[in-house]
Amino acid sequence: MSHDNPKDLAGSQKPQLQLIPPAASQIMAASLAQGAKHGPWNWRGQRISLMQHIGAIKRHTDALVAGENADGDGNDHLGAIMATAGIIADARAHGMLIDDRPPIPPTMDRE
């Protein structure tokens, strides 16, 4: 890509959303749609617990590692992992994330 055009230069310094594989977007969107039974974008209306969502990611990860691709409702475990991580990221970006991680030793810093 040539950076002669100032718009190209500016665009190259932003997140390259076109690099997200379509299959990833599709299964993440399907999981978000299934979770919308709780209300779409519900984490924007009420703060959410980081550790509760980490627990969900771990359960879906364990099921995926154990050989299960989808849960009993047909929700793809990989899509659920991505959707939950996306919800955490969005809640954090909008001040709606409760950071309830366990205490860390005083010698460690959290970034």
Write out pLDDT tens, residues 57-101: 999 999 999 999 999 999 999 999 999 999 999 999 999 999 999
1 pLDDT higher than 60: no
- What's the pLDDT at 13? 87
Whole-model pTM: value is 0.83
DSSP state of 46: S
Q: Which residue type does 53 have?
A: H
Average pLDDT of span 32-56: 94
What are the φ/ψ torsions at residue 90 (nearest 5 degrees)? -65, -40
The model's pLDDT over 11-39, given as tens digits with 9 standing for 90+, comes to 788 999 999 999 999 999 999 999 888 88
Taking the C-alpha atoms of residue 111 and residue 99, their distance in angstroms, rounded to an integer, is 12
- What's the pLDDT at 104? 84
More confident residue, 37 or 52: 52
Taking the C-alpha atoms of residue 85 and residue 54, their distance in angstroms, rounded to an integer, is 8
